[in-house]
Amino acid sequence: MSDLVTRFAPSPTGHLHLGHAHSALFGWTTARSAAGRFLLRIEDIDPNRCRPNYERDLIEDLAWLGLDWDGPIRRQSDHFDDFRTALARLESLGVLYPCFCTRKDIAAEIARAGAAPHGPDGPLYPGTCRHRSAAERAERIAHGDAPGNSWALRLDVEAARRLTGPLRWHDQVQGWQDATPELLGDVVLARKDTPTSYHLSVTVDDHLQGVTLVTRGEDLFFASHLHRLLQALLGYDPPDYHHHGLLRNAAGERLAKRDRAQSLRSLRDEGRSPAEVRAMAGFAG
């Protein structure tokens, strides 16, 4: 057995499609061909979007496809304490600040400023709450239950970068990268009612689960710049990365959960075999 550990980390917000199958097979094949371990993690921190039936169905779909995984499945919603611990560490470093802006406030501020820096996922947070005084923060948090006043904790990326200094990370396709987490701006790391975010929980879990190679789609390439910063702040060794290409439909668009025709379930209902679906997902033989 080698030391290689990869994982597949779907969110149960819909049925898996061929793009997920590609990603899962990529991580699984990479691990198995190196006699390493392959882990399955359910990223279900968002109770508004995740459903237990999707979790049950995705586990069944992956097994039907012929995949197996090592050890128990880690369900993120069972581990909020791990994320709280990491958040407390970031808080103690002074790199978090509460943000009281609603989406509307942010849109209005961007419109007012005339132009806003854009990141790979759209306009960046304009920093409205970054410089509020401690007194104002306390006052607003005390009134945090007022409608529209739900607060979030954001990462002060510049303050964090000053602490860590320059960082690098490695992608097996694109080579060494100088970390540029500022491309994503001051991201939300937790909300009043959810003590974590995708960025925080994925970084914590990849570390706690001993993942040595993060395999995932290239749509998450820029997120890795930020995850590298979080790893440095939290004292984690960085894993290696392999951001793979995305499967596209005939029109060249990325497959999405809403494209029901492409779901593994619908292909199976049409009578396709696991081997056929594996081939459609780019893994023939």
Task: Choose one: 6-14, 67-75, 91-99, 124-132; the region binding ligand GLU (CB under 6 A).
Answer: 6-14
Q: How far is the CB of 69 from ligand GLU (least distance, A)?
A: 14
Token match 């304490």: residue?
81
Applying the rule CB under 6 A, the residues between 188 and 207 that interact with ligand GLU are 202
Q: How far is the CB of 107 from ligand GLU (least distance, A)?
A: 25
Rounded Cα distance, 92 and 86, in Å: 10
Q: Of 4, 5, 6, 10, which lies in the binding site for ligand GLU, with binding defined by CB under 6 A?
A: 10
By CB under 6 A, how many residues form the interface with ligand GLU?
A: 7
Assess 42 for contact with ligand GLU (CB under 6 A): no
Contact 29, 215 (CB under 8 A): no
Q: How far is the CB of 99 from ligand GLU (least distance, A)?
A: 23
> Closer to ligand GLU at the Cβ: 8 or 151?
8
Site string for ligand GLU, 43-82 (x = CB under 6 A): x---------------------------------------
> Closer to ligand GLU at the Cβ: 43 or 186?
43
Q: Amino acid identity of 259?
A: D
**Nearest Cα to Cα of residue 68 among 15, 42, 31:** 31
Contact 215, 30 (CB under 8 A): yes
**Nearest Cα to Cα of residue 155 among 113, 121, 197:** 197
Assess 220 for contact with ligand GLU (CB under 6 A): yes
**Nearest Cα to Cα of residue 255 among 1, 23, 4:** 23
Q: Of 11, 201, 231, 262, which lies in the binding site for ligand GLU, with binding defined by CB under 6 A?
A: 11
Applying the rule CB under 6 A, the residues between 144 and 183 that interact with ligand GLU are none
> Closer to ligand GLU at the Cβ: 117 or 119?
119
Q: Of 9, 40, 190, 267, which lies in the binding site for ligand GLU, with binding defined by CB under 6 A?
A: 9
Task: Choose one: 7-15, 130-138, 165-173, 187-195; the region binding ligand GLU (CB under 6 A).
Answer: 7-15
Q: Residue length, the chain?
A: 285
Q: How far is the CB of 192 from ligand GLU (least distance, A)?
A: 22
Task: Choose one: 4-12, 147-155, 246-254, 255-263; the region binding ligand GLU (CB under 6 A).
Answer: 4-12
> Closer to ligand GLU at the Cβ: 127 or 203?
203
Between the alpha carbon of residue 87 and those of residues 4, 200, 238, the distances in Å are: 28, 8, 18
What does R_g of the chain's alpha carbons equal in angstroms? 20
> Closer to ligand GLU at the Cβ: 51 or 162?
51
Binding residues for ligand GLU (CB under 6 A):
9-11, 43, 202, 216, 220
